Amino acid sequence: MILNERETRHTQVMTAVGQMMTAARTAPKGKGMDVLEIMAVEGKDIETLSAKTRELGEKNGLNFFLRDAENILSAEVVVLIGTRRAIHNLNCAYCGFPACADKPLAVPCAVDSVDVGIAIGSACATAADFRLDTRVMFSVGYAAQALNLPEGCRTVFAVPVAASSKNPFFDRVLAK
């Protein structure tokens, strides 16, 4: 049997993406409560995500959204990591409000936001172990959140993934 890397690449990337999602899921949690949602977006759904990122960039005058909208079209898959809304009753005031009951729903829980960051770090470290190209993108996560991906989540970040001879997510030119 002869296996050509070009013909098996997508399968290899998707296997690694599964490991990235597991690493995000098993990452330590600030209160030990799992409110993370993790999903992979591929194919035509990346185009939908790109279009929403572009739309938000144009609407808000954010050129880096336009750049990132174009950039994710080079991804084989985009991993999304976000948190569902939860009240932990910690009353820790990390969010800026004295008690969880005082915090408006639109304000994310600081503990949940840290959990997303730890999960992103675990996912990206796993991608690095597989020598995959990645970049963490707030802009694309914001667009995903506007599309309700993952469903019911806040504080969503995107990690586009590629396996190419040069990382397409670096040395990018800002859209004008």
pLDDT per residue of the chain (176 residues) written in tens, 0 to 9 = 998 999 999 999 999 999 999 999 999 998 888 999 999 999 999 999 999 999 999 999 999 999 999 999 999 999 999 999 888 888 999 999 999 989 998 888 999 999 999 999 999 999 999 999 999 999 999 999 999 999 999 899 999 999 999 999 988 877 66
Cα 161 → chain centroid: 10
* Domain-located, residue 167: no
N-to-C CA span, the chain: 49
> Is residue 21, in this structure, part of any structural domain at all?
yes
To the nearest 10°, report the CA torsion of 80, 81, 82, 86.
140
Q: Is residue 65 part of a domain?
A: yes
The structural domain count of the chain equals 1
158 inside domain = yes
Backbone torsion region of residue 99, taken as left when φ is above 0, otherwise alpha when ψ lies between -120 and 50, otherwise beta: beta
Q: Which two tokens stand for residue 87?
A: 């009240």
| 171: helix, strand or coil | coil
The domain containing residue 119 runs over which residues? 5-162
* Amino acid (one-letter) located at 136: V
C-alpha to C-alpha distance for 139 and 176, rounded to whole angstroms = 16
Q: Is residue 9 part of a domain?
A: yes
Instruction: Kindly report the CATH number assigned to the domain that includes residue 37.
Output: 3.40.109.10
Question: 106 in a domain, yes or no?
Answer: yes
Residue 175 lies in a domain: no
Residue 111 belongs to a domain: yes
Cα 20 to Cα 13: distance, rounded to the nearest angstrom = 10
